Chain A
Amino acid sequence: MTPAALASFSLTAIYSAMGVYLFAFIAFTLDLAKRSTESPVAAASTAVRVGQMTRVGGTAVLDREPVVSAPQRRSNRFERVAFALTILGWVLHVTGTILRGIAAHRVPWANMFEFSLTASAIIVGVFIAVQAWQNLRFLGAYITGFSLIVLGFGTVGFYVSVVPLPPALQSYWLVIHVFVATLGTAFFAIGAGLSLVQLIQARREAKSFAGLKFLDTMPDAEKLETLAYRVIVVGFIFWTFTLMAGAIWAEHAWGRYWGWDTKEVWTFIIWTIFAGYLHARATRGWRGSRSAYLAIVGFSAVMFNFTIVNLFFKGLHAYSGL
């Protein structure tokens, strides 16, 4: 198959993925609406567990009273459909991204169009993967909606044909540096989503408004904050690595490891904001909503770095292909 044919198959797969994501987004939204009609989940009991030893036959058995745990909320139909659609859309999305890479004979993240494909694929992939760890499906509308917007901008605004790599990008660091940056972005995206829900939840808990009953089906603000923190910490480590890998690559390509190029500046700013977030979590009076705002500001800076800095700021990272 010719590269051009592969590239057009890739685009078809991406458009199909967008269609499926759209339905997933609608189903996730319906799920949120449906959650409003559910009865609130009983709070978990924290009874002290004191067991009594009994004797069964010749064996000593230590009995423990069963721990009263929060009853698992049953997922509704919309949520299950939405999640299945997300997985289907993601398979198409990844297929399209890989086809693009095959068409170009390289990793599919060398210009803004390809980066939008890969970044959103990784964001959705991480979202799907974290479900094995925690049920965060309530973020589905946010994640699918966000990916739809990224793919929309990517295909409409940033599309470029397959072109060979300029000499400056011909390095294995392209594979490492950009991929890890994308992973970091994915974790920051999910962290920002959790922090956003946390902020709304905190307001609701403070009784400043009574609406949005579906929030009853989600974890409380404190739990959300812990989840956000654990996701963002992973993102922060990837981001630190991105910064270092970028510096090593810059030394190879430009003869200096750090030169305050606009993209370097913004990577540094983002790193500093999230370092601030970690400190805020450890500062009395800054836990809770304040650190959540920082997480959202940090992710906004990541998005700013990807869009505005790439397109409108002058610098050495001029690889948008536009």
Chain B
Amino acid sequence: MSRPSDHIDSPAPAPREGITQPKLGPVGYVRFFWRQLTSMRTALFLLLLLAIAAVPGSVFPQRSSDPNGVTQYFTNNPSAAPVLDKLQLFDVYTSAWFSAIYLLLFISLIGCVIPRTIHHARALASPPPKTPARLERLGAFSAFEIEADAAGPTLTAASAVDSGRAILRKAGYRVTLFDGRGPDGPELSASAERGYLRETGNLVFHLSLIGILLAVGIGGGVGYTGNKVLVTGQAFANVRLTFDSFTKGRFFSDSDLQPYRLRLDRFAVKYEEKNRNALGQPIDYTADVTTFDASGTATQAVVKVNDPLRLGGNDIYLLGNGYAPWITVKNPAGKTVYSEPVPFLAQDANLTSLGIIKVPDGLASQVGMRAFFYPTAAESSNGVLGSVYPDLRNPVLSLVVFTGDLGINKGVPKSVYVLDTDKMTPLAGPGAADGTSALRLKPGESAKIPGGIGSITFENRAPASDSSNLSQSVQRFASFDVHRDPTQGWVLFFAICVLAGLLTSLFIPRRRLWIKVVELSGGRLRIEYAGLARGEDPTLDAAVSAIAQRHSQQLGLRLNP
């Protein structure tokens, strides 16, 4: 079958006495290494090596899936982390050693599959091989002798073989007739083979794996992923600069970004309210959005978890959400210097959220605030605030205020979620000189920033409503991923081919079957049936006896088991 020489179906190597090592030239060595690489043993070794090499990626945080985990690891293990980083243990799946293993594996696969494909193409075009001289040597063999007078004049060797051929054809075999002469007399035989699809499936399986690898590789090169946080009412255009974060493939071009605009109209969260074991567990997130295409036509749509908005390959996924309290800061003269919703990052299941407010301009000095937001605040006996429910029942904002240098003047990019207080002094909260505690605000309330710098307001976004109902007082934000992977459909196509190839290669039996009629002396006939499995074939015996049964029936003979 043109399999590697150490495949179980290849002929066993002849036992050798001693070692006879021929002298190999350069070409000889290339051939030697190629044979080694494409052998079954190497493929098996590389497969198992790949399995082992994938393990560290689940043990150490990976930059691709958990970048914050990597940062955390560096902080927690300052001495080990750089060494692990050198070994590419934070980028296992793009590391040199992991790539080396799977590339070698695929080269080995290609080297194995190509000769087999050629061989199989030839086998598909050629008739079944000549009937072996001694069928009784095969595993599934049975033979029957028929007396001359028993069958009557109608049964001849030729008619027996002809009806055998018809039966085999009907059973999906490819059949060729042979005649010859054996030790007992003239022989007529039908040589049949079926299950070519088994090898076809096997080849499709392996070739499709190559297809997946290529499609994944190309997809990574031309696709992009962008992330955008939108507070209700905000909109963004699908342009690279508007994204909060953006990763792109090597061959990405800005023209791949489909021109559209998306506005978040409403973000609704449903919490479990009846089941006492799951109070406050989110059970639904729904983002109502409006999209505007290039001509400005508006379309209403809904984005949910598990239900992305498909926009011509620039698909939009709802990945995260949280609260975005609207903060207004005024200078002592009452002029507004800062007024915007600030997305806060959830810290726990009850959405205790952390947000950073930076006011670089407009006040006597730069002001930074580290704020905690509690959607349903409750105070413990020692005065510590916490949130006890994720919805807005008793929203409270607590702010620690700093003044000084925010560290953003030099143009070095800083995360909006981190406040560097090295060059700042606390005005309110822990460490404040005059012991001023952190500011606490409810929606609609204002407070003076200590030191006469200005004032801060926690805006109530639904001021008209009854003051005891604050359920709409704070806006929410939703975090969207916009994703384009043009080869994704190809990956799916090849994956389906992998499965289909696997099914056919494992369950379709490939077998050869022979019906031989020998004309014995005295006009007697001997009919022989034999089968040969090619690959795993647990039902060979049953198949041979079924054919024998059908054949004898058609000949007007009855098989008595």
Contact = CB atoms under 8 A, between A and B. Distances in A.
A244 B497 CA distance: 11
B11 to A, nearest CB: 10
Contacts of B216: 258
A230 B507 CA distance: 10
A254 B318 CA distance: 8
A255 B6 contact: no
Contacts of A316: 65
Main secondary structure of the interface of A (DSSP, over half): mixed
A253 B496 CA distance: 20
Contact of A273 (B51, B145, B149, B536): B51
Nearest to B136: A48
A237 B150 contact: no
A256 B147 contact: no
Interface in A236-265: 236-237, 240-241, 244, 247-249, 251-262, 265
B145 to A, nearest CB: 6
A214 B47 CA distance: 37
A269 interface: yes
Given A50-B145, A265-B54, A286-B44, A256 B485 contact: yes
Contacts of B491: 257
Contacts of A314: 61, 66, 69
Q: Which of A3, A163, A249 has the most CB of B within 10 A?
A: A163
A39 interface: no
Given A53-B144, A168-B305, A168-B306, A248 B536 contact: no
Contact of B277 (A162, A266, A273): A162
B465 to A, nearest CB: 27
A64 B55 contact: no
Interface stretch (A15-23, A146-154, A203-211, A276-284): A276-284
Interface stretch (A54-62, A83-91, A114-122, A193-201): A54-62
A282 B142 CA distance: 29
B535 to A, nearest CB: 8
B7 interface: yes
Contacts of A167: 282-285, 304-306
B338 interface: no
A68 B306 CA distance: 61
A284 B495 contact: no
B144 A51 contact: yes
B287 to A, nearest CB: 11
Contacts of A48: 136, 141-143
Contacts of B218: none
A269 B8 contact: no
A253 B41 contact: no
A18 to B, nearest CB: 23
Interface in A144-189: 160-168, 170-171, 173
Interface in A205-233: 226, 229-230, 233
A49 interface: yes
Contact of A62 (B50, B506, B552): B552
A284 B20 CA distance: 22
B58 interface: yes
Interface in B40-65: 40-41, 43-44, 47-48, 50-51, 54-55, 57-59, 61-62, 64-65
B556 interface: yes
Interface string A68-80: 0000000000000
A284 B283 contact: no
Contacts of A251: 488
B97 to A, nearest CB: 15
B281 A164 contact: yes
Interface size class of A (residues with CB under 8 A): 35 or more
B298 interface: no
From A49, A51, A160, A286, name the one whose CB has the most chain B CB atoms within 10 angstroms.
A51
Contacts of A262: 58
A161 B277 contact: yes
Given A255-B308, A260-B62, A276-B47, A237 B499 contact: yes
B265 interface: no
A237 B502 contact: yes
A52 to B, nearest CB: 6
A236 B43 CA distance: 18
Contacts of B503: 237
B448 to A, nearest CB: 42
Interface string A276-304: 10011111111100000010000000000
Nearest to A243: B495
B561 A284 contact: no
Contacts of A38: none
Contacts of B54: 265, 268-269, 272
Interface in B479-536: 481, 483, 485, 488, 491-492, 495-496, 498-499, 502-503, 506, 536
A55 B150 contact: yes
Contacts of B50: 272
Nearest to B48: A276
A166 B283 contact: yes
Contact of A252 (B47, B308, B485): B308
Nearest to B561: A64
B559 interface: yes
A276 B499 CA distance: 17
With most chain B CB atoms within 10 A of its CB, the pick from A165, A259, A272 is: A272
A60 B41 contact: no
A226 B44 contact: no
A259 B47 contact: no
A265 B8 contact: no
Given A233-B506, A254-B319, A272-B54, A60 B557 contact: yes
A285 B308 contact: no
Contact of B488 (A164, A257, A266): A257
Contacts of A166: 281-283
Interface in B1-38: 6-10, 12
B338 to A, nearest CB: 33
B272 interface: yes
Contacts of B51: 269, 272-273, 276
A313 B62 CA distance: 12
A283 B283 contact: no
B153 interface: no
Contact of A284 (B6, B315, B557): B6
B275 A162 contact: yes
B44 A165 contact: no
A181 B326 CA distance: 46
Given A53-B145, A62-B558, 12 more contacts: A51-B142, A51-B144, A52-B145, A55-B149, A60-B150, A164-B278, A257-B488, A258-B216, A276-B51, A283-B6, A285-B6, A287-B8
20 contacts: A3-B275, A50-B142, A53-B144, A55-B149, A61-B558, A62-B146, A164-B283, A165-B283, A166-B282, A170-B306, A237-B503, A252-B306, A256-B225, A257-B488, A260-B64, A282-B40, A284-B7, A284-B10, A285-B41, A286-B44
Would you list the 6 A-B pairs with minimal beta carbon distance, nearest first? A163-B278, A255-B317, A161-B277, A283-B40, A272-B51, A167-B305
Interface of A: 3, 48-55, 59-64, 66, 160-168, 170-171, 173, 226, 229-230, 233, 236-237, 240-241, 244, 247-249, 251-262, 265-266, 268-269, 272-273, 275-276, 279-287, 294, 309, 313-316
